[in-house]
Amino acid sequence: MKKLYFMLAYSRRKAHRPLLAEVIENLTADGFEVSTGVAESLAISPETLRVEADLYILKSHSSLWLNIAAVLDTQGARILNSYSACVDTNNKIRAAARLSAAGVPVPRSWVTGDLAHILEVTETTNLLLKPNFGRNGDGICIVRDRAELNTMQISDGMLVQELIFPVEEEFKLYVIGERLFAIRKHAETHFREPVNVGSALEEIALRCGQGLGLEIYGVDVVINANGPFVVDVNYFPSFKGVARAAGPLTDHIREFAKK
């Protein structure tokens, strides 16, 4: 019997994981021995940490779980998504470089320790400042006046990116293996509706996975007159708005575990 271990994110609403609950129920019914854990609610000894599962499913973005995954990775653990893919995806600078190398359309970006230097490389007025390891929009700052760049202070590892504006359409693309699920996000109401997208957006989403080495991931795409741009990629997203995502997730984890 193969052992699966879900590395779960800490949540104050522990009972509100219906998608994962259904996936775990399906996998248990398939004959897998499934365990779960929240690192923040455990006491784990780095000295005695050993690989005990046939497959670890990394659902959390916390530095605690990522560090534990790093130890397990050095011991040869199989992790979905892989540890290296998750680390590179979380790192905005590495992700921008790898996505660009994979032919993914991304906004022009720079890294610097002094924002005044940005005035030398772009004439754009609207800029986005992102923490290198930020997520969920934390720490993001929009600059609409270039003069601000002469006086603003930034922390180490900030990514400066051209702000895509105005946005005509915004999509959340969710990928499981090579299966794509698309959600259109309405800018004013934030209402999400499932949609079918063309082959161009599908190819962009799959290139993101290939470039970062991801199996299960989400892609944020915005479109304006200059075309589509990928503005964010995250591993193992919430699949919010995707109906019946548990089935494809179960299938992919099952087949991945059997490899």
> Do 70 and 38 share a domain, yes or no?
yes
Pairing type for strands 33-38 and 3-8 reads parallel
Residue 208 has pLDDT above 80, yes or no: yes
> Do 121 and 173 share a domain, yes or no?
no
Q: What is the pLDDT of residue 200?
A: 96
User: Edge-to-edge strand order for the sheet containing 79-80?
Assistant: 33-38, 3-8, 55-58, 79-80
Residue 111 has pLDDT above 80, yes or no: yes
CB 53 within 8 A of CB 76: no
Q: Which is higher by pLDDT, 140 or 85?
A: 85
In a domain, 101, yes or no: no
Give the span between the Cα atoms of 199 and 60, in whole angstroms. Answer: 30
Q: What is the pLDDT of residue 16?
A: 59
Q: What is the pLDDT of residue 131?
A: 86
> Do 71 and 122 share a domain, yes or no?
no
Residue 68 has pLDDT above 90, yes or no: yes
Q: What is the pLDDT of residue 100?
A: 97
Q: What's the CA angle centered on 90, arms 99 and 243, to 5 degrees?
A: 85
> Do 133 and 154 share a domain, yes or no?
yes
Q: Which is higher by pLDDT, 231 or 145?
A: 231
Q: Which is higher by pLDDT, 30 or 134?
A: 30
Give the span between the Cα atoms of 81 and 178, in whole angstroms. Answer: 14
> Do 7 and 76 share a domain, yes or no?
yes
Instruction: Please state, rounded to an integer, the average pLDDT across all residues of the chain.
Output: 92
Burial code (b: 16+ CB inside 10 Å, e: under 16) for 87-124 equals bbbbbbbebbebbeebebebbebbeeeebeebeeeeee
Candidate ranges 14-18, 94-98, 165-169; pick with highest mean pLDDT: 94-98
CB 9 within 8 A of CB 62: yes
> Do 10 and 77 share a domain, yes or no?
yes
Residue 15 has pLDDT above 60, yes or no: no
> Do 157 and 171 share a domain, yes or no?
no
> Do 174 and 190 share a domain, yes or no?
yes
Which of residues 101, 135, 162 is at a domain's end? 162
In a domain, 104, yes or no: no
Mean pLDDT of 113-124: 88
> What 8-state DSSP symbol labels residue 150?
G
Answer yes or no: pTM beyond 0.95. no
CATH number, residue 27: 3.40.50.20
Question: In percent, how much of the chain has pLDDT > 70?
Answer: 96
What are the φ/ψ torsions at residue 7 (nearest 5 degrees)? -90, 100
Pairing type for strands 158-162 and 127-131 reads antiparallel
Structural domain of residue 120, as residue ranges?
A: 109-162
Number of domains in the chain: 3
Residue 237 has pLDDT above 80, yes or no: yes
The neighbouring-strand residues paired with 6 are 36, 57
Q: What is the pLDDT of residue 51?
A: 98
Burial code (b: 16+ CB inside 10 Å, e: under 16) for 137-156 equals eeeeeebeebeebeeeebee
> Do 228 and 250 share a domain, yes or no?
no
Residue 50 has pLDDT above 60, yes or no: yes
Q: What is the pLDDT of residue 242?
A: 95
In a domain, 93, yes or no: no
In a domain, 200, yes or no: yes
In a domain, 44, yes or no: yes
